[in-house]
Amino acid sequence: MLERVPHLTLAEALQELDSDDAAAVVEDLEDDQREKVLAAMPEVDRAAIESSLRYAEDSAGRLMQREVMAAPSFWNVGDTIDHIRKQGEDLPELFFDIYIVDPSNKPVGGLPVSGLLRAARSIALTDIMEPINEIAVDQDQEEVAYIFEKYHLISAPVVDTEGRLVGQITVDDIVNIIQEENREDILRLAGVRDEDRGSSVSEIVRGRVPWLAINLATAVLGASVISFFGATIQQIVALAVLMPIVSAIGGNAGTQALTVTVRALAMRELNSSNAPRTFWRELAVGLANGLVLAPLIGGAAALWSGDWRIGVVIAVSMVLNLMVAATVGVLTPLTLSKLKFDPAVSSAVFVTATTDFFGFLIFLGLATLVLI
């Protein structure tokens, strides 16, 4: 639709939007169309949009709207209400808070509109204002979303590097950011990027092949372990049937621990102070799961193979590999986070590779020691 709308019509329509929504539309235009649309807009509106587009794509400056209701610190409630009624057309279409600023335009507090309407006209704004959570203009949008979620904000002021009020961010924008970040994390756990229906085959392949190549390399490591114990498998063919069970259960358990850890990191619930407790808890869970599942698989394997020693080997292997799975499921995202990498970026590939490698190594190694 944007490609077919005349640029003069589009420029007129954009003037009816808040500056953040207008900037989002302009951002999606082709370069030549963008230049025509901006040239057709009034200088003030054009400057606001161009200023927003100069900020980094995922920053608070790009996310914020410049329309904001601010009141000087020497006003009272009556002054503020009169100003809102007089300047209604020039104020944001929807706002929840009034920001009180000092003479240098730095916010010193905030006041919900509901609080303003409850107070007597003669009360000074500084007497009823509340503390505010300021957002730096260059702050990452994921950090902004975390602040909104942590403090249950509806809106927040945005300040520049000098601490001056330059705009505000409202909760409707944050809902979109939270959904976007969650979607990205889910895709990264699988080692893929956000692809739409318009993506070409070559673009999708370029996004997926690198992680599949890593997966191929790790699979070769697992195969090398099997090859090393080839003589053992030739003597006891039942091992070839049973060993995928150990690695598969370990991979699933590792993914469970990984998912919980990545979520805790994303929610800022996991840090250096409680990481050891989380690690030992997941290790205990892995041990408990192993003790529950080991008798089941051990008994079944002993009955099927007719050799109780095979049942013991797979039962012990199951317990040990589930403990390995818990260890790598927690330590992999923690290590990535410590190294300043995104812990959601295909941690699952490394966790699965580790549980496969050690699953084969433990099972076939024990089988060699006990059965041969």
CA distance 278 to 275: 5
Tell me phi and psi for residue 269, to 5 degrees. -90, -10
Relative orientation angle of helices 7-14 and 31-39, to the nearest 10 degrees: 60
Q: Given this model, what pLDDT does residue 231 score?
A: 87
Predicted confidence at residue 192, as pLDDT, reads: 59
Could you tell me the CA-to-CA distances from 91 to 65, 103, 114 in Å, in that order? 11, 20, 17
What 260-266 contacts at long range (C-beta under 8 Å, 24+ apart), as own/partner pairs, is 260/329, 261/329, 261/330, 261/333, 261/334, 261/343, 262/185, 262/189, 262/333, 262/343, 262/344, 262/347, 265/333, 265/334, 265/337, 265/343, 266/181, 266/185, 266/344
| pTM attached to this predicted model | 0.64
State phi, psi for 167 to the nearest 5 degrees: 170, -170
Residue 74, CA distances (Å) to 71, 77, 84, 105, 132 in order:
8, 10, 16, 13, 18
Beta carbons within 8 Å of 225's beta carbon, 6+ residues apart: 357, 360, 361, 364
Instruction: Please identify which residue in the block is written with the tokens 């929504």.
Output: 21
Whether CATH 3.40.50.800 fits 70-189: no
- E-strand ranges in 198-326 read none
Residue 3's alpha-carbon distances to 7, 24, 29, in angstroms, are: 9, 15, 8
Q: What's residue 197's pLDDT?
A: 52
**What residues does each domain of the chain span?**
7-54, 70-189, 202-371
Rounded Cα gap, residues 346 and 182, in angstroms: 15
CATH T-level topology, domain 202-371: Tetracycline Repressor; domain 2 (1.10.357)
Position 176 scores a pLDDT of 81
173-198 per-residue burial string, b: 16 or more CB within 10 A, e: under 16: bbeebeeebeebbebbbebeeeeeee
Q: How many CA atoms lie within 13 A of 179 on its CB side?
A: 6
The SS3 assignment for 346 reads coil
The pLDDT, as a whole number, for residue 194 is 57
As beta bridge partners, residue 170 has 155
- The pLDDT score that the predictor gives to residue 237 is 85
**pLDDT value of position 195:** 53
Cα–Cα distances in angstroms (integers) from residue 55 to residues 131, 141, 160, 165, 175, in the given order: 27, 12, 11, 16, 20
Q: Which residues contact 120 (CB under 8 A, 6 or more apart)?
A: 77
Euclidean distance between CA atoms 289 and 284, whole angstroms: 9
Match 């698989």 to its residue by tokens: 297
Chain-centroid distance, C-alpha 7: 36
- What tens-digit pLDDT sequence spans the chain (372 residues)? 888 888 889 989 988 888 888 888 888 888 888 888 888 998 888 888 888 888 888 899 998 988 899 999 999 999 999 999 988 777 877 889 999 999 999 999 999 999 999 999 999 999 999 999 999 999 999 889 889 988 999 999 999 999 999 999 999 888 888 777 777 766 666 655 555 555 678 877 776 787 778 778 878 888 888 888 888 888 888 888 888 899 889 989 998 898 888 888 877 788 778 889 999 999 999 999 999 999 999 999 999 988 899 999 999 999 999 999 999 999 988 888 888 777 766 677 788 888 889 999 999 999 999 887
Q: Which two tokens stand for residue 164?
A: 């001056």
Residue 191 is predicted with a pLDDT of 57
104: helix, strand or coil: coil
Amino acid at 130: E
